[in-house]
Structure 1
Amino acid sequence: MVLLRLDSLALSRSRFALSPFAETLSTMIVLSRPCTEPWLTAWHARHHAAFRARLDADPFTRGLVMLCSSTKYLPDHLVLPPPGGMGTTLESELVEVARVPDTAVRSSLVQSVADSWEHHDLDWLTGHAHAARSAELFREVWQEHVAADWPGRRAMLERDVTYRAGLLAAHGWPRALHQMSRRSAWVGSDTIRFSDRPGPDRMVGPDGMLFVPVSGPRGAWLCEAPGRPYALVYPARGAGGQAEGERRDPARSERAVARLIGAGRAAILSELERPATTSELAALLGQSLGTVGGHLAVLREAELLVSTRVGRRVVYQRTELGDLLADAGLGSGSSAAKPT
């Protein structure tokens, strides 16, 4: 069992961050496997063939990606903590990855092979500049399979942060971290159980931790680097949805609710299955801030939602009445969380 033990200052200084690099790694793992999540089927079908062609064309790419998708120990040079908080850029992360020396890359790949549940070798690890080649691979995958979706993905990730920040303000870190991943849990007053597999505990110092959501449907990993805070990558809430066959037939009831309160307000009410700010809703729905703000005012007056302030953000969430209307007429799950 791997435990993250936080000192007395770590809790107050822990924070959230975004990582385009971790998002790209999560995407690569999803594309390397058969699609098992119904809500990802269309996106996976559009990208899978091109991604597999890339793997087949380059032994280094294939070896690295297939190892990452079948090991309990991700290579160290691919799990560096994001350096820029919520404003982290892919380029800033790629620069750090490319600097890792070949000896360190090979050493961690040997550990990844040892901890894999499939058979791997390192015959593909030829030449030199392994970290720089990895960084270039991530840049290309980002450009081809992630960049076009990033605004929508980022909005969904920011919503997860907003949701957890609200829980943090009201209830503290244990509640904010609840169900971040299938294996992580808060243990006692100052300890996070990160994994149930054997491994050394980590001591989290006064700089605290980073918590980094990604849109992949599963998987969590720990990022670490000397002199940097640990970062826990986890699947964001709302990264998936129900299968079509598991839903009630929504078309008729959706039209009825849209006629009742208007299509724009119905879309906002559906999106507010998870709390969000005006700007997040505007980005997700492709509407102006003024339009969304007007709809929110009407829905709030109708007591279908309420607003609360979390730091500098005003977060909207459905009331019990709003939940009843949404559940009856709009189904559950949000199409905006699906990669497109």
Structure 2
Amino acid sequence: MLRLDAQALTRSRFALSPFAETLAAIVQLARPAADSWHPEWHARHRVEFHARLRADPYARGLVGLMSASKHLPDHLALPPGGGMETTLESELAEVARVSDEVVREGLRLSLAHSAGGGHVDWCTGRDHGARAAELFRSVWETHLAAEWPARRAVLQRDVTHRAGLLAAHGWPRALHLMNRRSAWVGADAIRFGDRPGNDRAVGADGMLFVPVSARRSSWLCHAPGRPHALVYPARGTGTAGSATGSATGGARALARLIGAGRAVILRHLDTPATTSELAALMAQSVGTVGGHLAVLRDAGLVDRTRVGRRVLYHRTALGDHLADGAAEL
């Protein structure tokens, strides 16, 4: 349980973490089921990923522990420090600086929470923080870098959605169903898991909420003198491939009615988004997406709202009816 003091909520905020996205991807690729960004990505990258593990006992041991334990090694669960502009380089540098003593203690604690026991005999030598950082860098460059613009667009849309709920209804509504086990408890506490343990105090600096594109990934990040960070699955994840791939049933009918590109945009707008976010998500130019949005707006299917310096597009009631009706056919 996270106990928040009177100032914590006013200072809490959202952040992005390419490192957390990489961690979630590693766990997904380590497992046979494609509970991931989308099944095509999982199938395309899993063979090469496992070939890397077979050739590197250290990577194989660390990934196996990450996948089996309910407590991530501490050096892999550091809160991001750059807000919405956090870079992978800054996070890798921080992991690389963690001392071997801290890494080994975190591994022992993680092993104690691991299903089926195991060992850390693979953790030999020195510079374990740097070795972990190098593994994450390799996974990022091989399996994630090309996907990051689209993934980032999904994560930004989730933050936009929850920021809107926060402004209108407060934190309890913004955090509603953030993950399968989290819940707002009373007036000042967040339950973030179902395992017993001591409550953690969240002070005046508040905490961070960090979305990732993995549908079931959730963990708590902490470090001395830093705000806690709750990593959670973003809304709308796991749909990128289906939205741009071949349509079936009612989706085909909707595409024939308003055009394939505009149908994809209408389905994506189950969560409000900017033109640039939609363009990144669909791998199209801002001009192309803007033209489709203009047609949809003229037809009364979408509207727009200014939030600060951002212009968010959202479906109208007619747009909801059309999109939901197509999904039910």
TM-score (norm. length: structure 2): 0.93
Unpaired runs of 5+ residues, structure 1, are 333-340
Distance 1:38 1:105, change over 3 A: closer
Alpha carbons of structure 1 residues 229 and 106: separation in structure 2 relative to 1, 3 Å: same
The correspondence of residues 72-221 of structure 1 with structure 2, limited to 5 A, is 72-221=70-219
Q: Deviations over 1:35-66 (max 9, x none)?
A: 14497332211111111111111111011001
Query: In the alignment, residue 271 of structure 1 is paired with which amino acid?
Result: H
Aligned to 2:295: 298
- Name the CA distance, whole Å, in 2 between partners of 1:74 and 1:213: 17
Cα 1:195–1:139, aligned 2, differ >3 Å: closer, same or farther? Answer: same
- Cα–Cα, structure 1 residues 270 and 148, in superposed 2: closer, same or farther, change >3 Å? same
Is the 1:26–1:216 Cα contact (8 Å) retained in structure 2?
Answer: yes
- Displacement after TM superposition at 1:259 (Å): 3.6
The separation in 2 between residues aligned to 1:242 and 1:92, in whole angstroms, is: 28
- Show the counterpart of 1:226: 224
Q: CA RMSD in A?
A: 2.1
Answer with 5-14 or 309-318: which moved more.
309-318
Q: CA deviation at 1:297?
A: 2.9
SS in 2 for 1:233: strand
Q: Following superposition of structure 1 onto structure 2, how do residues 222-301 of structure 1 map, counting pairs within 5 Å?
A: 222-241=220-239, 250-251=247-248, 253-301=250-298
Q: What's the offset of the Cα at 1:331?
A: 6.4
Could you tell me which of 19, 26, 29 is aligned with 2:17?
A: 19
Shift in alpha-carbon separation, 1:39–1:317, aligned structure 2, 3 A: same
Contact map agreement 1:68 1:74 (CA 8 A) in 2: yes
Contact 1:264 1:295 in 2 (8 A): yes
Residue in 2 that maps onto 1:338: none
Local SS of the residue matching 1:308: strand
For residues 222 and 178 of structure 1, the distance between their equivalents in structure 2, rounded to whole angstroms, comes to 17
Which SS does the other structure have where 2:3 is aligned?
Answer: strand
User: Is it true that 1:323 corresponds to 2:315 in the alignment?
Assistant: no
**Contact 2:15–2:208 (CA under 8 A) maintained in structure 1:** yes
Distance 1:236 1:39 in 2: 11
CA distance in 1, matches of 2:247, 2:99: 54
Q: Which amino acid aligns with 1:267?
A: V
* Kept in 1: contact 2:296–2:302 (CA 8 A): yes
- Deviations for 1:192-219, whole angstroms, at most 9, x for unmatched residues? 1111211121111111111000111212
TM-score (norm 1): 0.90
Cα distance change on mapping 1:38 and 1:327 into 2, 3 Å: farther
Deviations 1:273-316 (A, max 9, x none): 22211111122223333332333233223221232233322222
Retained in 1: the 8 A contact 2:38–2:240? Answer: no
Provide, for residues 97-152 of structure 1, a one-character-per-residue CA deviation record: whole Å limited to 9, x for no partner: 01111011000100100011122101101001111100111111111111111111
Structure 2 Cα separation of the partners of residues 62 and 289 of structure 1: 41
Q: Report the alpha carbon displacement of residue 270 of structure 1 after superposing the two structures with TM.
A: 1.6
Q: CA deviation at 1:267?
A: 2.1
In structure 1, what is the Cα distance between the partners aligned to 2:132 and 2:15? 22
Equivalent residue pairs, number: 326
| TM superposition shift of 1:257 | 2.8
SS in 1 for 2:22: helix
Q: Tell me how far apart the structure 2 counterparts of residues 81 and 188 of structure 1 sit (CA, whole Å).
A: 25
Q: CA deviation at 1:242?
A: 11
- 1:308 is aligned to 305
Task: Pick closer, same or farther for the CA change 1:301–1:241 going to 2, 3 Å.
Answer: same
Q: Does 1:41 align with 2:39?
A: yes
Q: State the alpha-carbon separation in 1 of the partners of residues 271 and 22 from structure 2.
A: 24
- SS of the residue 1:276 aligns to: coil
Deviation at 1:255, TM superposition (A): 4.1
Of 306-315 and 62-71, more deviation after overlay is shown by 306-315
1:63 alignment partner AA: G
| Change over 3 Å in CA distance of 1:27–1:184 after alignment to 2 | same
User: 2:4 aligned to 6, 27, 34, which one?
Assistant: 6
Alignment of 1:50-69 (within 5 A): 50-69=48-67
Q: Any unmatched runs of 5+ in structure 2?
A: none
CA contact (8 A) 1:169 1:310 kept: no
Whole-angstrom CA distance in 2 between matches of 1:43 and 1:243: 8
Pick from 70, 93, 105 the counterpart of residue 68 of structure 2: 70
1:337 aligns to what?
none
The answer (yes or no) to whether the contact 1:250–1:329 under 8 Å persists in 2 is: no
